[in-house]
Structure 1
Amino acid sequence: MDARAYRLKCLKESDVFEVDFAEVLQMKTTIIQAATESTNYRQHAMTTAKSLHRVAADITDHDWLQKLEKSGFIPEKNTVWVLEGVLYYLSHSNAMEVLKIIADNCTIAHTVLLADFMNKSSTTLSSSLFHFYSDWPDHLLPSLGFSDVKLSQIGDPDAHFGLLHDPLNLFNKLRSLPRSLQTHPDDGTPCCRLYLVKASGSPN
């Protein structure tokens, strides 16, 4: 469960909205309240964001944006959308609808999207769980209305998290192969990739 609103000081002037299933939000609230009641964690349970709004909604329903706006979200304000560990659990049509709604926001306010995308081979890890994929999200997102897209793979200089220095690491081995390959030429195993994407757009 995301905890950025409790730990990132850069959010002190930002309003944070968390959209999730009602039962997930309730569980998170219970955990935070329990932490607050502990003197050892009281200070850490304080939000660092200007405000935090929890919005019970299912993004596969057509009314999730309306629920977000009823909770105080203002589309005309500059917004960072974080879709972390979300898109690949959705059907293709649901994922595309969510992405298009966010892309449309680029026409009225400066908009940034932070998301991770599985490639097609990655969805074979669990066909019952993973559905949406894009082998080329850096091509997909501009077609929806984003004007600037940056793509990284785990292991890239901006996405190794100080941990992936071994050239034989799986992520580093995949980085050396063309993204168009679906199977590894050495052993025939699927080239399962996870792309970390930052996309942005604005009215001007």
Structure 2
Amino acid sequence: MTDLLDPVERTALLTAALRAAETRRPGRLYADPYAARLAGEDGPGLLAEVRVATFPPGRERNLPSTPDYNAIRTRFFDDFLHTAAQDPGMTQIVLAPAGMDSRAYRMDWPGHIRYFELDRPAVLDFKAARLQGVAPRVDHHSVAVDLTDADWEQRLLDAGYDPTRPAVWLLEGLLYYIPEADTHRMLKRVAALSAPGSRIAADLVNAAALTLPHMRGLLDVFAGWGCPWLFGSDEPEELFARHGFEVQATQPGEEGADFGRWPDPVPPRHVAGVRRVFFVHGRRR
């Protein structure tokens, strides 16, 4: 079935393979018992290519450690979603895109939560086949949409989403694969569906991460797969504020986004010309 996934969709298999590897690791930051089956046959091969680029034989690593980054990102957003779900007034969670994420199946959720997973039909079909016989632990709704479609909002509404009630949106592994104009369009559309007090989280690289020579090894891997990184922002707070969200941008390795795993220095925000990743998180004004 993996031949039915396009290059961007197949990156979800990489994420699943990274989560499977973390689950096998002593001192893991989380356990994802479904990651290995979601990674399929192709996920480990994608991970092997990233490992060669990240940890080149016989040379010191000069790229960010993808396994450590992914482990921290997953745990950070696990905690974000878990905390948000404890609020009785926060009744809806939306993953856009859902990819091979298994949080609906591996985490415990309060009974007041309705959980929506948005992704393209091929991704959701692959995922359903891999998770056959596994029941979600939440009131779960899969919504087959392409987030570039003109009518995906209506299909979310048809699935039971209520735009008058606060929601939690997670845009994980999305924004660096789409052009800047599409990023603004996406945030505008999410904002239009988000009642005041709704929460949002996303990951984002800075502009330098797309151009620094030492990043070429990793960037070339994704470009070679047909899914180059297209967008980064040095001012994520301003980017989200333009669409009505008041957010913080936390870098891996900073307080609350380290978990004893980030291996590299964290340059202060005023330092230019360095690669950065941001975990953006905040609320709709």
TM-score, length-normalised on structure 2?
0.57
Residues 180 and 138 of structure 1, relative CA distance in 2, 3 Å threshold:
farther
Deviation at 1:52, TM superposition (A): 0.9
Instruction: Find the aligned partners of 1:74 and 1:177 in 2 and give their Cα distance.
Output: 40
Residues 180 and 58 of structure 1, relative CA distance in 2, 3 Å threshold:
farther
Aligned pair 1:67/2:155, yes or no? Answer: yes
Aligned pair 1:80/2:168, yes or no? Answer: yes
Aligned partner letter, 1:64: W
Instruction: Find the aligned partners of 1:18 and 1:179 in 2 and give their Cα distance.
Output: 37
Instruction: Find the aligned partners of 1:138 and 1:180 in 2 and give their Cα distance.
Output: 17
Residue 164 of structure 2 aligns to a residue whose secondary structure is coil
Deviation at 1:110, TM superposition (A): 2.5
Deviation at 1:102, TM superposition (A): 1.8
Instruction: Find the aligned partners of 1:178 and 1:78 in 2 and give their Cα distance.
Output: 31
2:108 matched residue in structure 1: 9
The counterpart of 2:280, out of the listed 186, 197, 200, is 197
Instruction: Find the aligned partners of 1:30 and 1:135 in 2 and give their Cα distance.
Output: 39
Q: Which blocks of at least 5 consecutive residues in structure 2 are unaligned?
A: 1-99
2:252 matched residue in structure 1: 154
Residue 109 of structure 2 aligns to a residue whose secondary structure is helix
Q: CA RMSD in A?
A: 1.8
Query: Does the 8 A contact of 1:58 with 1:64 survive in 2?
Result: yes
Deviation at 1:115, TM superposition (A): 0.3
Deviation at 1:179, TM superposition (A): 4.1
Deviation at 1:5, TM superposition (A): 0.9
After TM superposition, the runs of 4+ consecutive aligned structure 1 residues lying more than 4 A away are none
Residues 109 and 76 of structure 1, relative CA distance in 2, 3 Å threshold:
farther
Q: What are the Cα deviations for residues 131-161 of structure 1, in whole angstroms up to 9, with x where unaligned?
A: 1211110122112212x31210000120013
2:267 matched residue in structure 1: 176
Deviation at 1:105, TM superposition (A): 3.6
Residue 136 of structure 2 aligns to a residue whose secondary structure is coil
Aligned partner letter, 2:208: S
TM-score, length-normalised on structure 1?
0.78
Deviation at 1:8, TM superposition (A): 2.2
Residue 163 of structure 1 aligns to a residue whose secondary structure is coil
Instruction: Find the aligned partners of 1:62 and 1:16 in 2 and give their Cα distance.
Output: 22
Which protein has the bigger strand share?
1
2:18 matched residue in structure 1: none
The aligned runs of 1:1-204 (5 Å cut-off) are: 1-33=100-132, 36=133, 45-49=134-138, 51-106=139-194, 108-124=195-211, 125=215, 126=219, 128=223, 129-146=228-245, 148-164=246-262, 169-170=263-264, 173=265, 175-182=266-273, 191-202=274-285
Matched residue count: 174
Residue 242 of structure 2 aligns to a residue whose secondary structure is helix
Aligned partner letter, 1:141: F
Q: Which blocks of at least 5 consecutive residues in structure 1 are unaligned?
A: 37-44, 183-190
Residues 150 and 177 of structure 1, relative CA distance in 2, 3 Å threshold:
closer
Instruction: Find the aligned partners of 1:22 and 1:90 in 2 and give their Cα distance.
Output: 19
Instruction: Find the aligned partners of 1:159 and 1:21 in 2 and give their Cα distance.
Output: 30
Structure showing greater radius of gyration is 1
Q: What are the Cα deviations for residues 95-131 of structure 1, in whole angstroms up to 9, with x where unaligned?
A: 111111222344x343111100111122234374111
